[in-house]
Amino acid sequence: MTTLATEVDAAEVDAVWAALVGERGEVDDMAWWTYLSTRPAVLATVSVRIHDERAAVAEHWHRVDGDSFATIGSRVGLSRARAQQLVERGRDVGTRHQIKNREQER
């Protein structure tokens, strides 16, 4: 299966489906429909977390390794401007994680 510029392994899709959706089991159609209706929101939330993590990696390259936005963009196939946006998102992600961690420590 191919999506955008990435080859996706069907077995990996099956594994994510199994973890996200599972088996229908002995539920009626409406209960199954209702359950399935919640899955896109879960998947969208996971997708945001993946993008946040990628942004955090880009921010690390910039802050710790000293890579320029152009270097990061070249490394991952993005424009310099898009790499800068990604680094800035990574900063925001780091700030949100720090705040969340402080709140959990209380």
Provide the residue range defining the domain that includes 84: 2-105
Q: Where residue 3 falls among pLDDT bands split at 50, 70, 90?
A: very low
Write out 29-86 in H/E/C secondary structure.
Answer: HHHHHHHHHHHHHHHHHHHHHHHHHHHHHHHHHHHCCCCCHHHHHHHHCCCHHHHHHH
Work out the mean pLDDT of the chain and round it to a whole number.
Answer: 89
- Is the torsion defined by CA of 93, 95, 97, 100 positive or negative? negative
Among the listed residues 102, 63, 50, 59, the one whose alpha carbon sits nearest the alpha carbon of residue 84: 59
pLDDT at 99: 67
Q: Where residue 94 falls among pLDDT bands split at 50, 70, 90?
A: confident
Does 33 have pLDDT greater than 90?
A: yes
Q: Which residues contact 99 (CB under 8 A, 6 or more apart)?
A: none
pTM over the 0.85 mark? no
pLDDT at 5: 55
Tens-place pLDDT, residues 9-24 = 999 999 999 999 999 9
- The domain total for the chain is 1
